[in-house]
Amino acid sequence: MWANKDDRAWSIPKGEYTVDEQPLAAARREFAEETGSPAPGGSEIALGELRQPGGKVVTAWAVGADYDPATLRSNTFTLEWPPRSGRQREFPEVDRAAWVDLDTARAKLVRGQVAFIDRLVQQLDQ
């Protein structure tokens, strides 16, 4: 579905957590699972929650750190593909990572996550 899309197709690393897991711990775990690198250390900037158009609530943090997109090693998931074919295939959960400027990030992120960029800029300006 996302293979040939770019604008409005990027997302931050995210996933679900249980009532026994703290949201920040889940964010760090998901970053590691989806990128193949441990979440960077440093002071977290809480960006709050956003409800995605599909109803999922995403809580995000930013951390000032170095990350080399060339080190991306995503985990995979299994999906029946093509649909109703009976064949199971594995796909990477994340296909690429990149550093981009703010305007590019606003254009590439799925619409429901763009406000995280604005919240980050607002907090950094304070």
Structural domain includes residue 9: no
- Per the structure, the complete domain to which residue 48 belongs is given by 23-125
The pLDDT value recorded for residue 68 is 94
Kindly tell me the sign of the dihedral angle through the C-alpha atoms of 65, 66, 72, 73.
negative
Q: 10 in a domain, yes or no?
A: no
In a domain, 81, yes or no: yes
Q: Give the per-residue pLDDT at 17.
A: 87
Inside any domain, residue 80: yes
Predicted TM-score of the model (pTM): 0.86
pLDDT of amino acid 125 = 95
Sign of CA dihedral 82, 84, 90, 93: positive
pLDDT tens, N- to C-terminus, the chain (126 residues): 556 678 999 999 998 888 999 999 999 999 999 999 999 999 999 999 999 999 999 999 999 999 999 999 999 999 999 999 999 999 998 989 999 999 999 999 999 999 999 999 999 998
67 in any annotated domain: yes
Q: Is residue 13 part of a domain?
A: no
pLDDT at 3: 62
Asked whether residue 76 is domain-assigned, the answer is: yes
| Domain assignment of residue 15, yes or no | no
User: What is the pLDDT at residue 1?
Assistant: 52
Number of structural domains (the chain) is: 1
Q: Nearest Cα to 7, choosing from 117, 109, 115?
A: 109
Position 2 scores a pLDDT of 55
